[in-house]
Structure 1
């Protein structure tokens, strides 16, 4: 619930100041370490990031660069070792687990590679699930509109197992958007899809940004997928190593090749 003066009432009824106006995601000095002593792994080594609302950002990097850890910390699925994370202006770093759960249900959307639909529920019930979990009134008319937006208006009563992989991922996109979230986090959303179907799903995410004002943060290994984004950010060794605005798939692939070569050479030199 928003109050006057740009403040938000949190789950424990305290007032918390908004972050920088117009930003959907803010990470300041975020570090995530695993292990201790000589075996410590610095998955994130001091990440600073500010993403405006209504933008589509892709995050890429070589294997082991910290992409998954970044997404988990940014989405409140994992707690950083140090630093600050704000989503939609709300500081989430010190939240209790029940507060984080409430925030994820009501203010974030997720699209995963494996679809993560519940097979026993209908398509409509899967789309409405975030509203149900957040304790909101299940708005069937809104679900109908979302399914029409993703081209599945005639599939509301079907079960996920009756749909193709691409159709299931469209359901997942509709589910992610149903609560009008502050941010949609997409983790390799086209990894299990063929090229044509992947383009259809990415087009839906692009359309959500352009027509609904959604904010999308997508982790991907695919330069063709990243080319749908407004900006591509490159991770290497737990820190951002540059970005590319409105890059083509070829430009993105070239930057990734150079980055992979550079990090590989550094690893050999350190061995």
Structure 2
């Protein structure tokens, strides 16, 4: 049984035709400001982004550049102060909170540095949790298939505490894949892993994109992790300040060093390239 399934339209979901066909993530003029007046902080300063389905994108930037805020706004975990966000063609910016929560459960996958598995549940139950929360039938065959894809055959009845860190992150990836999400957001997914285990986990994300047609957006500080992506986008002061396509870890590290040192080269041209990546 394959993982590909049709899905029902979410409450308050606008027709997919309103988004650009073939795009998994669209941000248009997204700004996020915290506070008011002289003490206001502009975490995102007008982000435009268009990412096609079936791509792997890494987002990097110096501390305080807006990476976490970008991920939270793009994934519907935080609401922008201005601009719009579309996921899988659906405008999510104006959704009511209950509809937004249901959309996240059904159409977005998450992989976090800390795994975020429930220790009292079995591996199988953790994988099926998004289906349970979305009110969908918890098909054990889907869990078995997802676990097989990440190399965890025979681990369904184990508890997370019985697994290594790398195995727990594999469970998190299986959980992220089981709902056939429009996009998987990964927040420092290898931050708690050793180099060898990190490479295995990144290989699974790469495989999900290349073989399963998944869309992955990963925030990371590690150039070696970012090198697994199709493209790396760099944030600086809440705006995109450049990109590297199919870059090596060394090329990505050099670009990051330049940003950290405050050397910005042609940000407007780079931002235009980022906004038009779907073309």
Range into which the TM-score falls when normalised by the shorter chain: over 0.9
Structure 1: gaps (5+ residues): 265-271
Equivalence for 2:103: 103
Equivalence for 1:66: 66
Q: 1: CA distance between counterparts of 2:32 and 2:16?
A: 25
Summarize the Cα distance change of 1:13–1:224 in structure 2 as closer, same or farther, 3 Å threshold. closer
Question: 1:178: Cα distance to partner?
Answer: 0.2
Structure 2: gaps (5+ residues): 265-279
What's the CA shift string for 1:50-86, capped at 9, x where partnerless?
0000000000000000000000000000000000000
Q: Secondary structure at the match of 1:155?
A: coil
Aligned residues: 260
| Counterpart contact for 1:150–1:204, Cα < 8 Å | yes
Q: 1: CA distance between counterparts of 2:108 and 2:135?
A: 15
| Counterpart contact for 1:10–1:16, Cα < 8 Å | no
What's the CA shift string for 1:167-206, capped at 9, x where partnerless?
0000000000000100000000000000000000000000
Equivalence for 1:261: 261
Equivalence for 1:88: 88
* TM-score (ref. length: structure 1): 0.93
Q: 2: CA distance between counterparts of 1:138 and 1:153?
A: 18
| Counterpart contact for 2:66–2:236, Cα < 8 Å | yes
| Counterpart contact for 2:114–2:192, Cα < 8 Å | yes
Equivalence for 1:244: 244
Equivalence for 2:153: 153
Equivalence for 1:234: 234
Equivalence for 1:48: 48
Question: 1:2: Cα distance to partner?
Answer: 8.5
Summarize the Cα distance change of 1:10–1:151 in structure 2 as closer, same or farther, 3 Å threshold. closer
Q: 1: CA distance between counterparts of 2:18 and 2:143?
A: 30
| Counterpart contact for 2:16–2:89, Cα < 8 Å | no
The answer as to 2:122 corresponding to 1:112 is no
* TM-score (ref. length: structure 2): 0.90
| Counterpart contact for 1:234–1:242, Cα < 8 Å | yes
Q: 1: CA distance between counterparts of 2:182 and 2:129?
A: 17
Q: 2: CA distance between counterparts of 1:246 and 1:179?
A: 28
Question: 1:9: Cα distance to partner?
Answer: 4.2
Equivalence for 1:192: 192
| Counterpart contact for 2:13–2:91, Cα < 8 Å | no
Question: 1:154: Cα distance to partner?
Answer: 1.2
Q: Secondary structure at the match of 1:45?
A: strand
**Map 1:151-190 → 2, pairs under 5 A:** 151-190=151-190
Q: 2: CA distance between counterparts of 1:185 and 1:88?
A: 13
Equivalence for 2:209: 209
Equivalence for 2:26: 26
Q: 2: CA distance between counterparts of 1:162 and 1:199?
A: 21
Question: 1:12: Cα distance to partner?
Answer: 3.9
What is the alpha-carbon root mean square deviation over aligned residues? 1.7
Question: 1:139: Cα distance to partner?
Answer: 1.2
